[in-house]
Structure 1
Amino acid sequence: MRLQLPTDRWILEELQEGRNLGANIAVEVDRHKKTITRRLNQMEEDSLVHSVGNGVYEITPKGVATLRLIDQYERGEEFEKLVEERAELIEVHPPAIVDEGADES
């Protein structure tokens, strides 16, 4: 996985709030629509987001885990392993996100 920071973080944050159009995300994060479309396509290949059709995307459990661990991105392969482990504990129910492994305190 190759993240493009800070753009990918902003995209994931927007999608954490619920499904959204790529064009709307571009406006919200102040990036060109082509840039967001390119990043969404790459992020879909990496299973961080999922296209539900007509330009609408939603975040995946792996996307949620990536966002929560993104500050550790520089750790390379170890980061991807952490993301995969955490993603197994996360269920995404649009628009709400439930992390079964999260601390309830």
Structure 2
Amino acid sequence: MSIVIEGQTVEGTLRAEVGVARLDAASSRDFKKEIDSIWSDGVTAVEFDFSKVDFIDSSGVGALLGVYKRLPQGSASVRLLKVKAPVQSVIELLRLHRIFEIAA
């Protein structure tokens, strides 16, 4: 089963859908590998569709932070789209909503 589906880069923005219900220790390694496989040199921003994600743990958060760190400093932008309340709560609890833009 693919963790990241429909990943494509359009005008410097990598857009991808996370295709699992749980972004946790069991899936984060595959998530990182799949991001590596679709990453291109011109990526300056990332948008993830989180509509299927019901749960995220520290491994999933670490994987997202890894994506953020790959982006050029100063202009890094990671948007999380269609984030469900439990996932948003974890991100806000860790104060990562200051790094990741959360959009409905």
TM-score normalised to structure 1 length: 0.26
Query: Which has the larger Rg?
Result: 1
Q: Which has the higher strand share?
A: 2
Q: Which has the higher helix share?
A: 1
